[in-house]
Amino acid sequence: MANIGDFRNNEAEGRYELSVEGQLAVAAYDRREGALVFTHTQVPAALEGQGVGSRLIGAALADARAQNLKVVPLCEFVAAYIERHPQEQDLLAIDAPG
């Protein structure tokens, strides 16, 4: 398991970031109408299969919940994460902003 470092919401870049062993995993989003529209998740190849993406998305969804935001998972990884974690499904926006 990778040593998980700093997590932050880089609002200027429109992405959540998780620094792990000197490398950066990111989950890009657009903020629209009370929702975060997740568009892409990227984990460095050296960190794949170590749970880094799941930790990144778990933390990002916790932040969305804390801000009372809904989530639109255009990114397949985020959609799959929410499907595997039923406790997060209440975050899904019913009417996805376009």
In a domain, 40, yes or no: yes
In a domain, 58, yes or no: yes
Token pair 């255009």: residue:
74
- Residue 97 pLDDT > 80, yes or no? no
* pLDDT value of position 21: 87
Q: For residue 89, count other CB atoms closer than 10 A to its CB.
A: 10
| Whole-number Å distance between alpha carbons of 65 and 82 | 13
* pLDDT value of position 98: 46
What's the number of domains the chain is made of? 1
In a domain, 96, yes or no: no
Query: Does residue 79 contact residue 44 with C-beta atoms inside 8 Å?
Result: no
In a domain, 98, yes or no: no
In a domain, 69, yes or no: yes
**What is the separation of C-alpha 19 from the centre of its chain, rounded to a whole number of angstroms?**
14
| Whole-number Å distance between alpha carbons of 57 and 77 | 9
* pLDDT value of position 44: 96
Provide the residue range defining the domain that includes 29. Answer: 4-91
30-65: pLDDT as tens digits: 999 899 999 999 999 999 999 999 999 999 999 999
Query: Does residue 92 contact residue 70 with C-beta atoms inside 8 Å?
Result: yes
In a domain, 17, yes or no: yes
In a domain, 10, yes or no: yes
In a domain, 43, yes or no: yes
